[in-house]
Structure 1
């Protein structure tokens, strides 16, 4: 009788411990699964270099379709709104290239933004420099007066808030046309400086 009672207690104890054993086994299985998945997502370092050799230096590490980028100043005001139908990212040098980029540059005066368009763009993210090339067009609005600047290349220095070029530029507004070689502009102050060979053609008042 005593032996039967002892066996009954042992059987009850084993049944009571089975849920704990099942939970422990499940926890070990889940942990092992996560470990295998994590290891599976991290390919060997050699595979990255092999992939780069296969695609070549000219191929991007990634790309974005219909990308949009917004930069803010220290107090939360917009500084730049930038869009492109295709942006390609290159990890080496932290460079991004863009097709038909468009940028809106906001100053501190509260007036309308400078609007830049071009055929191509290259953003050096470490230096915060944007290079625009190919039919660069800049529209600047002050009050009810609008001026358009055309050139073949333009550099935007986001840190200093300036845009500049050494190429010929042509500026057209409601009173005439001005051409020059090279220019520099300060976005916040809305100051435009022409470098050399400045020529102007203006309409006289009727």
Structure 2
């Protein structure tokens, strides 16, 4: 079963937009950190390092990006980031991104056990206890899953894993999800169930 949500005021629709925004900003911030110059290296150094070891790494990383107006837009932290230049791959340990939308005083928080970024393909994969939290006054809403992929080139966010969206007055569960950020469409693929409380 596929559900398409086209209503601009849909809270799930807002999830899709913000997830995409967070992915693009987080990826952009991390890519700004990377140097445009490739390491020339030496065969001896590569042999000493081994093919499974990173070309470079950062411990205790903390990145921030501001808007042109000087407002904080995103904070990205990770205990460790490893870069593998030949594979065009960066591995993030325990990434946490805080996204500050201009229309909201409270940040969105995206966290996972690990992440991987493929710069050329524009793909950010998050895995293990992926939680997206939308903070609001006295209420939080969360999206949880075990894996989530952001495709910057296609403007999509997707997973084939079970997804749970928890809001103050209800819970939606599904297996598999795909969102098109620009079109503001979210599809819940199968086994869609919802439980909601009505206001009295």
- Shorter-chain TM-score: which interval? 0.5 to 0.7
Aligned residues: 162
Q: Residue deviations 1:52-96, cap 9 Å, x none? A: 223222111111011133457799876643210111111112211
Q: Residue deviations 1:128-163, cap 9 Å, x none? A: 321110111111246665311111101123455543
Give the number of the structure with larger relative contact order, counting CA–CA contacts within 8 Å between residues 6 or more apart.
2
CA–CA separation in structure 2 for the residues paired with 1:108 and 1:191? 22
Paired residues of 1:87 and 1:97 also in contact (CA < 8 A): yes
CA–CA separation in structure 2 for the residues paired with 1:108 and 1:73? 9
CA–CA separation in structure 2 for the residues paired with 1:160 and 1:105? 21
Task: Mark the structure with the bigger radius of gyration.
Answer: 1
Match of 1:48 among 42, 59, 64: 42
Unaligned runs of 5+ in 2: 1-38
CA–CA separation in structure 1 for the residues paired with 2:182 and 2:101? 4
CA–CA separation in structure 2 for the residues paired with 1:190 and 1:77? 25
Match of 1:156 among 132, 146, 150: 150
TM-score (norm 2): 0.65
Q: Which residue of 2 aligns with 1:65?
A: 59
Higher helix share: 1
Cα RMSD of the aligned pairs, angstroms, is: 3.3
Q: Which residue of 2 aligns with 1:138?
A: 132
Q: Which residue of 1 aligns with 2:90?
A: 96
